Amino acid sequence: MSFTRADDLLGAWRLASAVEVFDDGERRDEFGPNPEGYLCYHPAGIVSATLGASARPPVSAGDPQSATGEDYERIARHFIAYAGPFSVDVGNGTVTHHVDVSLFPNWQGHDQIRRVTVEGERLSIIASDRTSADGRTFHSELDLAQDLRASRPFANGVTVKPRARLQHEIGHTVSIANTRDNPTRDDEPTMTQATTPTLELNNGVTIPALGLGVFQTPPDETREAVRAALGAGYRHIDTAAAYGNERQVGEAVHSSGQDRSEIVLETKIWISDYGYDETLHGFQKSARKLGVEQIDLLILHQPLPSAFDRTLEAYRALETLLADGKVRAIGVSNFTVEHLTTLLEHATIAPGVNQIELHPYFQQRDVQHFHAEHDILTQAWSPIGGITFYREGSHHSTLDDPVIADIAKAHGKTPAQAMLRWGLQHGRSVIPKSTKPSRIAENIDVFDFELSTDEMATIDGLDTGRRGGPEPDAVTLEAFAFEIPEA
């Protein structure tokens, strides 16, 4: 696997030793025998810092005990500006990170990091050669150990949490994850867990309010994304037969060591498999690919307005699967009020969720209102407005919205976090997608702040009424059907 940004590597690391190694063999403590340095995870969830007497401006935040959130932000900007891409080779029990671009460009001429090695809970960094004042060649070797005690409140009330621990599977893969499965020593605080509140569906089944979406996540990146999510505390994954990555979702869940019963797997039947028998078979394909007997939440991906009978037959199959215990809950997606109204006229069981496009620029209040009246959970897709920037359309990106940016900034959060918080405070299920561990962690780090009534209303006011995704009525078999492969 490869990491593409420095923040994928970070967690709470304490500088254990730092020596300068000269070409004639001399080894000197670089910062004295007790270096005080940390690589930490900033509350914004994106970056690390080297702290303490050991660090030099502009990398330094000064004494780690008195450094403030602003110090971290300054360092964060520095690291973001300079951290470059690097790749990882997984070898025989050792993971070697070849850093191509400097992590610490201003750090005493270390314009290149030669090697980063991760072994168990230790991280070693070997800097590139440089020349000392007396003309000798030397390089620095830093040894860092994971330190869960790095979590502490700072002068301005910001708490820097150890958000990541290293999971190391020899010869297979490496991921950095915040997971409660890692053992902690007795004298250390337990890792801060991202505890996600749950939402109750109309049949009593509960699902986490925040899950990971995997639309457009390539199959070969899906395992890592799901692993990173599970490590960061997610317990809900939203996939679909049409995404082509159900198998990888299942593999990641089964190899995670997490109790299957703690994880909500949601998937969708594609329109090509609508019809009663076809949908029953669609369930089998998805369940086999996911490697499960029972799917937690199975929904119809789209209404088929041009063949609504088939849609109703597909829904009848979902009801059968629910009655047979093959699924724990059922629902629909992209249904308008009209589609829902017709569905309820025919269905014997109301859908538990309707997963719809919902972000600040497109809020579908009529559909939400219908949901509230009929006890259907609103599940927001593109909850941070992905559709506003990955699909050509009439919107600019919600991530660049100045109003959202200001609200986010007021809470020391990112625009994505502010939008997720807005959705959650409205009582919605949100399923942000990312393939990047740092963003996956960022997106679940939304349970330690609250938007005010005014801020909620301000974001409510950004609705344009313009859909980013396809009009549901435009989704026809002719235009959108394709074969979902057998398991």
Ligand X SMILES: NC(=O)c1ccc[n+]([C@@H]2O[C@H](COP(=O)([O-])OP(=O)(O)OC[C@H]3O[C@@H](n4cnc5c(N)ncnc54)[C@H](OP(=O)(O)O)[C@@H]3O)[C@@H](O)[C@H]2O)c1
**According to CB under 6 A, which one of 110, 382, 408, 459 is a site residue for ligand X?**
382
Which of residues 60 and 414 has its CB atom nearest to ligand X in the complex? 414
In whole angstroms, what is the distance from residue 151 CA to residue 362 CA? Answer: 38
Q: Count of CB atoms within 10 A of residue 457's CB?
A: 10
Which of residues 35 and 331 has its CB atom nearest to ligand X in the complex? 331
480 binding ligand X? (CB under 6 A): no
Question: Which of the ranges 173-181, 249-257, 360-368, 384-392 carries the binding residues for ligand X, by CB under 6 A?
Answer: 384-392
Residues numbered 90-129 forming contacts with ligand X, rule: CB under 6 A: none
**According to CB under 6 A, which one of 71, 442, 445, 455 is a site residue for ligand X?**
442
* Residues comprising the chain, all counted: 487
Which of residues 20 and 273 has its CB atom nearest to ligand X in the complex? 273
Question: Which of the ranges 68-76, 107-115, 116-124, 212-220 carries the binding residues for ligand X, by CB under 6 A?
Answer: 212-220
Question: Which of the ranges 145-153, 154-162, 436-444, 456-464 carries the binding residues for ligand X, by CB under 6 A?
Answer: 436-444
296 binding ligand X? (CB under 6 A): no
Dihedral through CA 180, CA 181, CA 183, CA 186, nearest 10?
40
Q: Both tokens of residue 68?
A: 């403030």
In whole angstroms, what is the distance from residue 98 CA to residue 10 CA? Answer: 15
Alpha carbon distances (Å) from 73 to 32, 43, 108, 178, 409: 27, 9, 21, 22, 12
Which of residues 39 and 214 has its CB atom nearest to ligand X in the complex? 214
401 binding ligand X? (CB under 6 A): no
In whole angstroms, what is the distance from residue 56 CA to residue 235 CA? Answer: 40
**According to CB under 6 A, which one of 383, 412, 423, 472 is a site residue for ligand X?**
383
**According to CB under 6 A, which one of 60, 404, 434, 467 is a site residue for ligand X?**
434
Minimum distance of ligand X from residue 128's CB (angstroms)? 30
64 binding ligand X? (CB under 6 A): no
**According to CB under 6 A, which one of 384, 404, 444, 459 is a site residue for ligand X?**
384
Pairing between β-strand 429-430 and β-strand 377-381 as defined by DSSP bridges: parallel
In whole angstroms, what is the distance from residue 125 CA to residue 6 CA? Answer: 13
Which of residues 146 and 333 has its CB atom nearest to ligand X in the complex? 333
Concatenating the DSSP letter of every residue in 240-292 gives -GGGT-HHHHHHHHHTS-S-GGG-EEEEEE-GGG-SHHHHHHHHHHHHHHHT-
Which of residues 147 and 445 has its CB atom nearest to ligand X in the complex? 445
Alpha carbon distances (Å) from 422 to 14, 44, 136, 248: 35, 17, 58, 30
Q: Both tokens of residue 209?
A: 């309010």
Minimum distance of ligand X from residue 211's CB (angstroms)? 8
303 binding ligand X? (CB under 6 A): no
**According to CB under 6 A, which one of 307, 350, 399, 403 is a site residue for ligand X?**
399
Q: Both tokens of residue 417?
A: 């976090």
Preceding amide of 58 cis, omega within 30: yes
Question: Which of the ranges 165-173, 180-188, 191-199, 383-391 carries the binding residues for ligand X, by CB under 6 A?
Answer: 383-391
Q: Both tokens of residue 363?
A: 């809020």
Contact 481/271 with Cβ under 8 angstroms? Answer: yes
DSSP 190: P
Which of residues 125 and 356 has its CB atom nearest to ligand X in the complex? 356
In whole angstroms, what is the distance from residue 280 CA to residue 323 CA? Answer: 13
Contact 91/108 with Cβ under 8 angstroms? Answer: no
Minimum distance of ligand X from residue 385's CB (angstroms)? 5
> Phi, psi at residue 424, to the nearest 5°?
-65, -40
Minimum distance of ligand X from residue 380's CB (angstroms)? 8
**According to CB under 6 A, which one of 43, 360, 385, 437 is a site residue for ligand X?**
385
**According to CB under 6 A, which one of 163, 436, 445, 467 is a site residue for ligand X?**
436
- Name beta bridge partners: 356: 380
Minimum distance of ligand X from residue 355's CB (angstroms)? 5
243 flagged as catalytic: yes
Site string for ligand X, 336-365 (x = CB under 6 A): -------------------x----------
Cα angle, residue 384 at apex, residues 157 and 232 outer, rounded to 5°: 60
Site string for ligand X, 458-477 (x = CB under 6 A): -----------x--------
The single residue of 243, 274, 315, 361 carrying the catalytic annotation is: 243
- Name beta bridge partners: 339: none
Question: Which of the ranges 6-14, 28-36, 213-221, 244-252 carries the binding residues for ligand X, by CB under 6 A?
Answer: 213-221
Helical packing angle, 402-410 and 453-460, nearest 10°? 160
Minimum distance of ligand X from residue 1's CB (angstroms)? 15
> Which phi-psi region, left, alpha or beta, contains residue 309 (left: φ > 0; alpha: ψ -120 to 50)?
alpha
386 binding ligand X? (CB under 6 A): yes
431 binding ligand X? (CB under 6 A): yes
Interacting residue ranges for ligand X, rule: CB under 6 A? 213-215, 238, 301, 333-334, 355, 381-387, 390, 399, 414, 416, 431-436, 439, 442-443, 469
Catalytic residues: 243
